[in-house]
Amino acid sequence: MQVYLDNNATTMCDPQVVEAMQPFFSEIYGNPNSLHKFGTASHPALSKAIDQAYTAINANDNDDIVFTSCATESNNWVLQGVWIDHILNGDKNHIVTTEVEHPSILSTCKFLEEQGVKVTYLPVNDQGVVEAHTVKSFITEKTALVSVMWASNETGMIFPIEEIGEICKEKGVLFHSDAVQAVGKIPVDVSKVHVDFMSFSAHKFHGPKGIGGLYIKDSQALSPLLHGGEHMGGRRSGTLNVPYIVGMGLAMELATKNIEETMAKIRAKRDRLEDELLKLSDTFSVGDRENRTPNTILISIRGVEGEGMLWDLNNSQIGASTGSACASADLEANTVMLAIGADNELAHTGIRLSLSRFTTDAEIDYTIAHFKGAVERLRAISSSFAKQKPTKGGEVQECELHHH
Amino acid sequence: MAKADMLGESLWDAYSNKVTTLMNNPQHQGEIFEAEAEKRGHKLIVADFGAESCGDAVRLYWEIDPKTDKIVDSKFKSFGCGTAIASSDVMTELCIGKTVQEAVKITNIDVELALRDDPDTPAVPPQKMHCSVMAYDVIKKAAGLYLGVESESFEEEIIVCECARVSLNTLREVIKLNDLKTVEEITDYTKAGGFCKSCIKPGGHEAREWYLVDILADTRKEMDEEKMKAAADAQAEGGGSFEDMTLVQQIKAVDAVIDENVRQFLIMDGGNMEIIDIKKNDGYIDIYIRYLGACNGCASSATGTLYAIESTLKEKLSKNIRVLPI
């Protein structure tokens, strides 16, 4: 058996989605902008996909949902567009975000800082979420934009987006949320929650890679990132990626229809897995379950280093993820883990398991067994569990190696 | 950046087969207990290095025959990633059969070489070299415990790059000998900074006492000073008189004196000056200068300031100097 439990990184494309995309490669391949029937033949499917996307997040007909190449593009577009419109060509100079955003937000903010923009990176609490009052206290008259993720990729923790939205509305500040980890995992309703801009990505909810979207409330102004042939009402140029838009539309519908029911099923499996793993001694998981995306577990196993654990899981055909510094190409400790500040240990022992609606009970059973086996083997090797004490003078008082 | 960088290499694919095999099945993992060792008439030494909170930790066990100082058995325990476990395993392998004094000579490079499948292909990608860095440190510590000396006493030199074990003296020599100007050149010549990169500059994976950027800057400064001193010495040998210098040398010498003694005061008042020409005239040396900025037209520029410039140059270079503002 092989078990994929890294669904916060990417998901399997639903075979139904692949099937829906199929005709738009070699059969209905016209450019939707063309006047002839080869072009217009794709319009019904595109209209349907647009409807599916609007319905999935409950967008108003006056709102825009623009298809982009990925959420990285959507995030770049919002940050750079707001910079051009309200900072370069306006009287604002400040952006508020958090320390735990995706690199597509953080790196873009760093870039904007180099261009002279002031950026505030808000810290998270011990639950790994930024608190609404913290956001409120950092908004100034010069603040152009607040950008806060809807849910964390690392921990699954859900941020108080509704409250932050109200604060921004009240203060008259634009609000963007990177909802990549929220759409398809928890209900996201833009008619109930105030967001000016919201990014999402198809491959996180069983759609194809290479397509995402940006929701824009009331079709408000935002300078384009990509200039060109005036596609999508001039908002985002580039020939429409017909098969992928069709695929994303269906994927969004499948992921959000009956979401409460689907969530409950995933949550039951997740909770069972988490409960079983927490039976192991010296383990803890991050964040209140009730305020977490229902598919995510971030668990710390004392005495077992994350990359080593990932290695053993991989040998058992289980795909998971770790924030351990050792597993990253640059050896840098994971910013989210450090921001949560769980005694540095999480930065080295955190294992993330993220389920999907395709995860089966048999897979959970298999994972429980092999996870426990891996912990047993690695703890048997681990110095943290050794019995013979060091020779007098041979102890380690504190970390003498890396000072992050 | 090029084609090879477009799809980054998978970290695990870069591990040697030996690393993979030993990670999956370490040969010397385990413990030796004091009572057992004593029963065999041997001395047990157990040393820790690193801690769980810093991401890597290793505990090294040596069972030593006190008559010969020979390590008859060695085991390890490790909190760490795959490469840390594999390198700890090879480290214990390398220790067994050696005397404590011989074991101290085992370096991280030795450990890495022992993990290679073939001599020319690194066993781990450069950034993972860090994980075997602990070998040398923990061995030193164990040896210190056995011999009853400070583990630092085995360090004959200051090691700047722990991964490649390059000393401060080596770095200084190589920089001077090859006239190295960048950290990249240092890495090419010595391998220092080529692995975990901590020693390149502050803010890397771990804090270091010495950084390549500082060593480079200091050594370059030293080299410049040496060069200047050599030039000054040469001048002194050649008589050293201002009158005997070439025009270029004279202008440089005047500039140096002005820079050192005068210019800062002019700049403070919003002015400056430049040297236009130097001419020999009836036993005098006439230095033509031009005032810039606020000095231009200042009353003092023809009296007090001018006198100060002239007397300084006379004192430092030649009593025959006259300064003429134009």
Starting at the edge strand found earlier in the chain, the sheet holding B43-51 runs: B43-51, B56-65, B70-79
Identical topology for domains B8-155 and B242-325 = no
Q: Do B51 and A398 touch (CB under 8 A)?
A: yes
Residue of B nearest to A347 (CA): B55
What's the length of chain A? 404
Cβ–Cβ < 8 Å for A369, A362: no
Cα dihedral B142, B144, B145, B147 sign: positive
Distance between A376 CA and the closest CA of chain B, angstroms? 13
pLDDT tens, residue by residue, A9-38: 999 999 999 999 999 999 999 999 999 999
Per-residue model confidence (pLDDT) at position A322: 86
Closest CB to A331 among B47, B80, B196: B196
Q: Which residue has the tokens 């950046």?
A: B1
What pLDDT does B262 receive? 83
| A329 with B11: Cβ contact below 8 A | yes
Hey, are the CB atoms on A331 and B141 less than 8 Å from each other? no
B53 part of contact set with chain A, CB < 8 Å:
yes
Which residues lie below 8 Å from residue A365, measured CB to CB, with a gap of 6+?
none
Taking residue B67's Cβ as centre, other Cβ atoms within 10 Å add up to 8
- DSSP H stretches of helix in chain B: 3-6, 17-24, 34-39, 82-95, 100-103, 108-114, 134-147, 168-178, 183-190, 212-237, 247-261, 263-268, 304-316
Q: Is the CB of B56 inside 8 Å of chain A's CB atoms?
A: yes
Round to whole Å and give the CA distance between B132 and B107.
Answer: 9
Q: Which of A302, A306, A311 sits opposite B23 (nearest CB)?
A: A311
Q: How far is B302 from chain A (nearest CA, A)?
A: 46
* CATH number, span B8-155: 3.90.1010.10
Closest by Cα among A251, A245, A242, A246 to A207: A251
Q: If you measure CA to CA, which chain A residue comes closest to B28?
A: A381
Helix (H, G, I), strand (E, B), or coil: what is residue B8?
Answer: coil
Nearest chain A Cα distance for residue B84, angstroms: 9
Distance from CA of A309 to the nearest CA of B (A): 8
A238 vs A347: CA distance, rounded Å: 41
Chain A residues inside the 8 Å CB shell of B128? 326
A282 touching B, CB under 8 A?
no
First and final CA of chain A: distance in angstroms? 39
Predicted confidence pLDDT, tens digits, chain A (404 residues): 999 999 999 999 999 999 999 999 999 999 999 999 999 999 999 999 999 999 999 999 999 999 999 999 999 999 999 999 999 999 999 999 999 999 999 999 999 999 999 999 998 888 889 999 999 999 999 999 999 999 999 999 999 999 999 999 999 999 999 999 999 999 999 999 999 999 999 999 999 999 999 999 999 999 999 999 878 888 999 999 999 999 999 999 999 999 999 999 999 999 999 999 999 999 988 889 999 999 999 998 989 999 999 999 999 999 999 876 566 555 555 666 666 665 566 678 889 999 999 999 999 999 999 999 999 999 999 998 999 999 988 888 655 444 33
A15-256: CATH topology is Aspartate Aminotransferase; domain 2 (3.40.640)
**How close A254 comes to chain B (CA, Å)?**
32
- For this structure, is B54 an active site residue? yes
Type of residue found at A395:
E
CA-to-CA distance for B175 and B196, rounded, in angstroms?
21
Distance CA A216, CA A205 (A): 20
B131 as an active site residue: the answer is: yes
Cβ-defined contact of B55 to A388 (cutoff 8 Å): no
Cβ contacts from A onto B, under 8 A: 146
Q: Which residue of A has its CA nearest to B75?
A: A381
- Identify the active-site residue in B131, B163, B196, B295: B131
Q: Which CATH number fits domain B242-325: 3.30.300.130, 3.30.460.10, 2.60.120.560, 3.40.50.2300?
A: 3.30.300.130
Q: What is the pLDDT of residue A43?
A: 97
Q: Could you give the count of Cα atoms lying within 13 Å of A78 in the half-sphere of its Cβ?
A: 34
**For chain A, domain boundaries:** 15-256, 259-380
pLDDT at A353: 97
The type of residue at A315 is N
Q: What are phi and psi of B61, to 5 degrees?
A: -115, 130
Supply B136's token pair: 């040398």
Three-state secondary-structure class, residue A68? strand
**Each residue of A107-160: pLDDT tens digit?**
999 999 999 999 999 988 888 899 999 999 999 999 999 999 999 999 999 999
- Supply the angle between the helices A259-278 and A242-256 in degrees, to the nearest 10: 70
Nearest to A389 among B29, B46, B58 (CB): B46
B30: left (phi over 0), alpha (psi -120 to 50) or beta: left
Give the distance, in angstroms, between the CA of residue A347 and the centroid of all CA atoms in the same chain. 19
Angle between helices A71-82 and A103-114 (to 10 degrees): 30
**DSSP track, B52-70:** GGGTEEEEEEEEEETTTTE
β partners of residue B58: B49, B78
Q: What is the dihedral of CA A163, A164, A170, A175, to 10 degrees?
A: -140
Q: Which residue of A has its CA nearest to B26?
A: A381
Enumerate the residues of chain A whose CB falls inside 8 A of the CB of residue B53. Answer: 343-345, 348, 398-399
Residue contact B31–A401, C-beta within 8 A: no
The domain A259-380 belongs to what CATH superfamily?
Answer: Aspartate Aminotransferase, domain 1 (3.90.1150.10)
Which chain B residue's Cα is nearest to A330? Answer: B127
- Residues A71, A103: Cα–Cα separation, whole Å: 11
Q: Min CA distance, A340 vs chain B (Å)?
A: 15
CB distance A326–B77 less than 8 Å? no
Does A400 sit within 8 Å of B49, measured CB to CB? yes
- Largest Cα–Cα distance in chain A? 86
Token pair, residue A180, equals 């990549």
Residues of A in contact with B76 (CB under 8 A): 383
Cβ A332–B205 below 8 Å, yes or no? yes
Say what the pLDDT of residue A404 is: 33
CB A389 within 8 A of CB B46: yes
Given a cut of 50, the residues of chain B with pLDDT beneath it are none
Nearest to A292 by CA among A355, A239, A245, A378: A355
